[in-house]
Amino acid sequence: MEELEIREAGSEDVEQAAELIVRMKRLNGEFDPLFKVVDDAQQRAVEYLSASMGGGDRFVLVAARGKKVFGVLRAEVKDRLFYIPSKEGDITDFYILPEVRRKDVGREIVDRASQKLKAMGAEIIVAEFPAQNAIAVRFYSKRGFRAVVDIFAKEEKEEGQ
């Protein structure tokens, strides 16, 4: 079987990569109701990824075999206005299909993204995911990441709702 290749996403990958992004967002929904996914998530994911593929401070990587996309990672470089180091590389979205999990694809794509972010000036790499996602916690902890920020959320509902 052909090897999985990790490469920058091209326009031909966008539909499939967007599907994976939507899967990831739905998976987030399993951890907290505040991650309930909108109906037109696929279309939004296409736009979101397309806007991240033109170079500059963001990029999208895919793990693919031929035309079939098995994994996607989106990342961007952000300024840290008050802190040193002053630039962080942020892995905002990352999903791989179950059939290629536990085969080191996750590690490879995160390593590739980290190198790329570093080359773009990032001195630290951060990853965002729901606090309840124990699998992601394990994945990143194993790779030397540690928890830095907690985001607490509270729904503000109108009286009577």
Q: Which of residues 78-97 bind another protein (CB under 8 A)?
A: 97
Write the DSSP assignment of the chain as a string of letters: -PPPEEEE--GGGHHHHHHHHHHHHHHHHHH-GGGPPPTTHHHHHHHHHHTTSSSTTEEEEEEEETTEEEEEEEEEEEE-TTSSS-EEEEEEEEEE-GGGTTTTHHHHHHHHHHHHHHHTT-SEEEE---TT-HHHHHHHHHTT------------PPTT-
Q: Which residues contact 117 (CB under 8 A, 6 or more apart)?
A: 75, 77, 89, 125
Nearer to another protein, 18 or 122 (CB): 18
Q: Does 66 bind another protein (CB under 8 A)?
A: no
Segment near another protein (CB under 8 A), from 1-9, 23-31, 36-44, 121-129?
23-31
How many chain residues bind another protein (CB under 8 A)? Answer: 7
Q: Does 98 bind another protein (CB under 8 A)?
A: yes
Nearer to another protein, 97 or 137 (CB): 97
Q: Does 2 bind another protein (CB under 8 A)?
A: no
Q: Does 124 bind another protein (CB under 8 A)?
A: no
Q: Does 26 bind another protein (CB under 8 A)?
A: yes
Task: Give the shortest CB-99-to-another protein separation in angstroms.
Answer: 4
Nearer to another protein, 97 or 124 (CB): 97
Please name the residue that has the structure tokens 């992601």: 136
Q: Does 39 bind another protein (CB under 8 A)?
A: no
Q: Of 5, 8, 12, 30, which lies in the binding site for another protein, with binding defined by CB under 8 A?
A: 30
